[in-house]
Amino acid sequence: MSETNESVLPITIAIPTYRREQVLIDTLESLLGLATGPAEIVVVDQTEAHERVTGDRLKTLSDDQRIRWLRLVKPSIPCAMNRGLLEATQEIVLFVDDDIRAEPELLSAHLAAHRLHVDTLVAGRVIQPWQEEVDFSTDEKFHFASLKPAWIDEFMGGNFSVRRTTALNLGGFDENFVRVAYRFEAEFAHRFRASGRRIYFEPRACLHHLKAGGGGTRTFGEHLTTFKPDHAVGAYYFFLRTWAGWRSLKDFLARPLRAVATRHHLRHPWWIPATALAEVWGMCWALALFLCGPRYATKPDKESAHA
C-alpha cells in the first residue's frame, strides 16, 4: 500500500487475533474494502494452526502485500498489541478486534480526531449485535454506542487509536495481564491519563462488533462456570497496579464476594465453590505478577516471526 495514493491514509491498523477463522477473513475484507484505506494492516496472529481455507486466504493477502501477517507462538493480547505498536510504520496506530465490520468513516474520523486533539487516545464507537438498529440519539448517559463526542476515562480495546511514540514511551501494554487480559485497557488508560493526556470518544469512528462465538477471549470459557483464574487474575492485578489506598483495598477484598453474589450463582449454587476457588487463585497469581514488576513492550524475539 503506497502512501502516495490518494485513497490511502497515514494510519496503521493492527489486529491481534487468536483462533478466528472466517470471521477474521470477513474483518479483513471489510477493512480492505474501504474506499479510503490504511497505509497498512498488520495482523498479529496467535493461532496455532488455521483451517486450510483461512490459512490460504491469509497467505494470499500477505503474498499480495495487502496485509502484513505476523505470527506469535504464545497467545497474549497485550503482547500482540505491543508487537503491533513495534511493527507499525505509521505514527497513528488503530487497534480493532478480529470480528468487526467497519463503517466508511472509521479511519478518517480517527485521524481527524487526532488532528483536532493532539496526543490524545481516540476511542471509537462500537455497536454490539444487540444494539443494531437502536436509536441512541436521545441518550444522555455515555456508552460506547453513543452518538455524542465525549471526554472519557477508559476505552474499549476493539476500536481505539493512539500515537505510536506516545504509547511506546509509556511502555506499551503490560504483558502481565495474562490469559483473557481482563482490565488491561483500563490499566493503560490509567497510565495514559496519569501522564497528563486525555481520552476522546469520537462516535464517527464507528464499527460493528460481530461478537464471534468462538476464539479470542472466549477460548478461555465463561467466567461464571469455571474454577480457572483466567478472568479473575486481571482484575486483581489491575487493583494492584492502580493502587489508590483504602478504596483499592476495599475493592480488592470485596471482589470475591461480588463474584459469587450474582443471579447465576443464586440459581446455580453448586458453582459457588468453583468461582471462589478461581478468585483466590487469581488473587495469588496477581500478587506474584505484581511482585515481579510490569512487563512492557520489548523488541520481538526468536519465537515470533513473519508468516
Phi-psi region of 90 (alpha: psi -120 to 50; beta: other; left: phi over 0): beta
Domain boundaries, the chain: 8-215, 221-292
| CA 118 to each of CA 110, 156, 307: distance values in angstroms, whole numbers, following the listed order | 12, 20, 35
* 102 neighbors 28 (Cβ within 8 angstroms): no
d(CA 159, CA 100): 9
Residue 34 to residue 13: CA distance in whole angstroms:
13
Round to whole Å and give the CA distance between 63 and 130: 37
Among 43, 85, 98, 86, smallest CA distance to 67 is for 43
SS3 of 41, please?
strand
* pLDDT of res. 307: 58
Judged by DSSP in three states, 33 sits in coil
pTM to 2 decimals?
A: 0.92
Grid look-up 468453583 returns 274
Confidence at residue 214, expressed as pLDDT on a 0 to 100 scale: 74
pLDDT, averaged in runs of 10, over the chain (307 residues): 65 97 97 96 97 97 98 95 98 98 98 97 97 93 96 98 98 96 97 98 97 68 79 96 92 92 91 93 97 89 53
What CATH number is given for 8-215 in this structure?
3.90.550.10
Backbone angles phi, psi at 100, to 5 degrees: -135, 165
Q: Where are the alpha helices (DSSP H) in the chain?
A: 22-32, 52-63, 77-87, 106-116, 164-169, 184-194, 232-241, 246-260, 263-267, 272-292
Q: How far, in Å, are 6, 105, 297 from residue 113 at the CA level?
A: 20, 12, 26
Residues contacting 48, CB < 8 A, separation 6+: 19
DSSP lists the bridge partners of residue 16 as 44
Which residue type does 268 have?
H
| Rounded Cα distance, 165 and 32, in Å | 26
Asked if 173 and 82 count as a contact pair (C-beta separation under 8 A), the reply is yes
| Cβ partners under 8 Å of residue 116, min gap 6 | none
